C-alpha cells in the first residue's frame, strides 16, 4: 500500500490524544473541543487520555514511544513541553527532535487569581502585601516547569516579591478554593466561571492587552512594566509520522478553527484560535524555547 493511499484512508480506527495534565485542566478542556470536531470531520473517534505528572513529560514520553502512524497524538502545552528538557536531566526523549509539530490550536491568556481571603483587591495591593509578608504566600502550580509555574516565577522576578511555590501533581483547585494556597497564575479558560461566581478573585491578566472575557481586569504589565506571558496549545505526533497524515490533521484542525461555532466556544473559555502550518508551529516552538530558556536561567528554578 502506498503512502498516499494510506493517508487517504487515515484514520481507519480511533485515535488517541494524550494529555499530560489532569482532567479539567485548560489543556484538557481545549483538546476535548478539538477532539470532538476532529471526530465529526474525520469519521473516527478521537479519544482524549489523561496521563498527568512531571510537568507533562509522562504523557509526552507515551507519545514519543508510540508508533509513528498517526493513531497516538500529543496535546502540547508548548511552554511546559519545551522547558521540561531544562528541568529533567533524565528524560528519555528530546521534545523538539522526537515530537513532530502538527497543528497549533489556540493562544491561551492567563489570569492571576487569589483566594478571596487574601487582603488585596488590586495587584498593587497584592505586591505590597507580598513584600510585607515574604515567603508567607503560597503560589500553587500544576508542577515544576509548567506554564502556571513559569508565569508565576516571571512575576516574582519582575515584581520583586517572594512567594512560596507549591507544585501539584494533580489538581490544585481544591486547595486554592479552600485557602491552603492563596495565588495561582492560571488559564482564563480554567478560572473564568470561578471568577464570575466570586469563588476566586482576579487581579490581572498576563497578556499585553486586556481580554474581552474579563474586560475590567487590568494586565500585569500595567503594574509591572514589561511583563507578558501567554500559553500556546497544539497537537504533536511521534517523529517520522508520514507527512501526508500530518498535513491532513493540520488541514482538518485549521478548518475546525475557522468554524464559527468552534470560534464561539473557544471565545467562551477565553482562548484565541491560532491556526498555523506545521512549519509555522515548529518556528513558534523554537521561539518559545528561547524565550523561556532565558527565564529559567535568570530565576535559577529547578526540578524538585
Between 24 and 33, where is the model more confident?
Answer: 33
pLDDT of the residue at 6: 47
Q: What is the DSSP string of the chain?
A: --HHHHHHH--SS-EEEEESS-TTSHHHHHHHHHHHHHHHHHSS-EEEEE---GGGHHHHHHHHTS-SSSSEEEEEEHHHHHHHHHH-TT-SS-HHHHEEEEEEEEEEEEEEEE-TTSS-SSHHHHHHHHHHSTT-SEEEESSTTSHHHHHHHHHHHHHT---EEEE-SS--HHHHHHTSS-EEEEEHHHHHHHHHTTSSEEEEESSSS--TTSTTSPBGGGTSTT---EEEEEEEEETT--HHHHHHHHHHHHHHHT-HHHHHHHHHTT-EE----HHHHHHHHHHHHHHHHHHHHHHT----
pLDDT of the residue at 226: 93
Average pLDDT on 221-250 reads: 96
pLDDT of the residue at 296: 84
pLDDT tier at 8, thresholds 50, 70, 90? low
Q: Say whether pLDDT at 40 is over 70.
A: yes
pLDDT of the residue at 262: 95
pLDDT of the residue at 263: 94
pLDDT of the residue at 303: 64
Domains of the chain (ranges plus CATH)?
3-108+230-299 (3.40.190.150), 109-222 (3.40.190.10)
Mean pLDDT of the chain: 91
Between 296 and 197, where is the model more confident?
Answer: 197
Q: Say whether pLDDT at 26 is over 50.
A: yes
Q: Say whether pLDDT at 292 is over 90.
A: no
pLDDT of the residue at 5: 45
pLDDT tier at 142, thresholds 50, 70, 90? confident
The percent of residues above 70 in pLDDT, for the chain, comes to 96
Average pLDDT on 59-73 reads: 97
pTM beyond 0.85, yes or no: no
The percent of residues above 90 in pLDDT, for the chain, comes to 70
- Taking only the tens place, the pLDDT of each residue in 81-123 is 878 777 777 788 999 899 999 999 999 899 999 999 999 999 9
Instruction: Lowest mean pLDDT of 4-18, 129-143, 225-239, name the range.
Output: 4-18
pLDDT of the residue at 13: 97
- Taking only the tens place, the pLDDT of each residue in 165-198 is 999 987 899 999 999 999 999 988 789 899 999 9
pLDDT of the residue at 2: 45
Average pLDDT on 74-80 reads: 88
Amino acid at each position: 500500500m502506498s503512502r498516499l493511499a494510506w493517508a487517504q484512508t487515515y484514520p481507519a480506527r480511533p485515535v488517541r490524544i494524550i494529555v499530560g495534565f489532569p482532567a479539567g485542566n485548560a489543556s484538557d478542556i481545549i483538546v476535548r473541543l478539538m477532539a470532538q470536531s476532529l471526530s465529526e470531520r474525520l469519521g473516527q473517534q478521537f479519544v482524549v487520555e489523561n496521563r498527568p505528572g512531571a510537568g507533562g513529560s509522562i504523557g509526552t514520553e507515551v507519545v514519543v514511544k508510540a508508533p509513528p502512524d498517526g493513531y497516538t497524538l500529543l496535546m502540547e502545552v508548548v511552554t511546559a513541553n519545551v522547558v521540561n528538557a531544562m528541568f529533567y536531566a533524565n528524560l528519555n526523549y528530546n521534545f523538539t527532535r522526537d515530537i513532530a509539530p502538527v497543528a497549533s490550536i489556540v493562544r491561551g491568556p492567563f489570569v492571576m487569581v487569589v483566594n478571596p481571603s487574601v487582603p488585596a483587591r488590586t495587584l498593587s495591593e497584592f505586591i505590597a502585601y507580598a513584600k510585607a509578608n515574604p515567603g508567607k504566600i503560597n503560589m500553587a502550580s500544576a508542577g515544576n516547569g509548567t506554564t502556571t509555574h513559569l508565569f508565576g516565577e516571571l512575576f516574582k522576578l519582575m515584581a520583586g516579591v517572594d512567594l512560596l511555590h507549591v507544585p501539584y501533581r494533580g489538581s490544585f483547585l481544591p486547595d486554592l478554593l479552600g485557602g491552603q494556597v492563596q495565588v495561582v497564575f492560571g488559564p482564563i479558560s480554567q478560572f473564568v466561571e470561578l471568577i464570575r461566581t466570586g469563588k476566586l478573585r482576579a487581579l490581572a491578566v498576563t497578556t499585553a492587552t486586556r481580554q474581552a472575557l474579563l474586560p475590567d481586569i487590568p494586565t500585569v504589565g500595567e503594574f509591572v512594566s514589561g511583563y507578558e506571558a501567554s500559553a500556546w496549545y497544539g497537537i504533536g505526533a511521534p517523529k517520522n509520522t508520514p507527512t501526508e497524515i500530518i498535513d491532513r490533521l493540520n488541514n482538518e484542525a485549521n478548518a475546525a478553527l475557522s468554524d464559527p461555532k468552534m470560534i464561539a466556544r473557544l471565545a467562551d473559555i477565553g482562548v484565541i484560535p491560532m491556526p498555523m502550518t506545521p512549519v509555522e508551529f515548529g518556528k513558534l516552538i523554537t521561539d518559545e524555547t528561547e524565550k523561556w530558556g532565558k527565564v529559567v536561567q535568570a530565576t535559577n528554578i529547578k526540578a524538585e
